[in-house]
Structure 1
Amino acid sequence: MPEFMDVHTGMNGVTAEGLKQAHDADLAIQDTENVNFKHAWADPETGTVFCLSEAPDAEAVQRVHAAAGHPADTVYEVGIQA
């Protein structure tokens, strides 16, 4: 299954607990779109959050994030890794 990295902006001041809550909200509904959210990272200073997932397509990732209340600004397919 393809992997995706998505980016959220505007989450300035996000805390570890806030990131966990957002990630848990995704995990709770990810099966509805056959998505597997693997990990999330955040930079509280810039308000940028990154999420790594496996999904059928970028739209499925976006639908889960939107349903969880935090749509991504951009979703990138990660086709090549080192």
Structure 2
Amino acid sequence: MPTDPPPPWVLTRRQEIGTRIRAAREAAGLTQIQLAEMAGLDHKTIHRIEYAITDPSLTMLIRIAAALDTALADLVRT
């Protein structure tokens, strides 16, 4: 595993994904706590993903997309 900080474009992409998740959550009328419960995650994890504080795993993204009833591709598109 790389220990160096990721290049700036990686953080930008993480922020874009977090913004899409937040927008989809808000459009669905859900709080972070509600989304977390539906996805089987901690609400702090949802916050960290939405604000690009943490690197979400593929499993987390799949669970979030399913909870939001949206395609994973819509959340991570470039």
Task: Name the one with the larger strand percent.
Answer: 1
Task: Name the one with the larger helix percent.
Answer: 2
Q: Which structure's relative contact order is higher, taking Cα pairs within 8 Å and 6+ residues apart?
A: 1
The two structures have a TM-score, normalised by structure 1, of: 0.37
The two structures have a TM-score, normalised by structure 2, of: 0.39
